[in-house]
A = this chain, B = another copy of it.
Amino acid sequence: MNVTVKPEYIEADGTTLTGRFPVSFELEGYSSGKRRNDVKVGMVEPARLQLWDLASDEGRFHGGDETAPKPLALFTAGVVTCFMTQMRTFARQCGVQVRGLNTKARFEWYAQRNGQDPYVAHPNKFVLDIEFDTDSSLEAQKHLIRTAAKGCFAEQILSVDLVHRLKHGDEWVVCELD
Contacts and interface: CB of A to CB of B under 8 A. Distances in A.
A43 B70 contact: yes
Given A29-B102, A153-B121, A85 B111 contact: no
Contact of A69 (B52, B113, B120, B153): B52
Nearest to A84: B37
B39 A77 contact: yes
B54 A73 contact: yes
A122 B119 CA distance: 31
Contacts of A102: 28-31
Given A34-B12, A111-B23, A85 B106 contact: no
3 nearest CB pairs, A to B: A75-B78, A74-B78, A71-B82
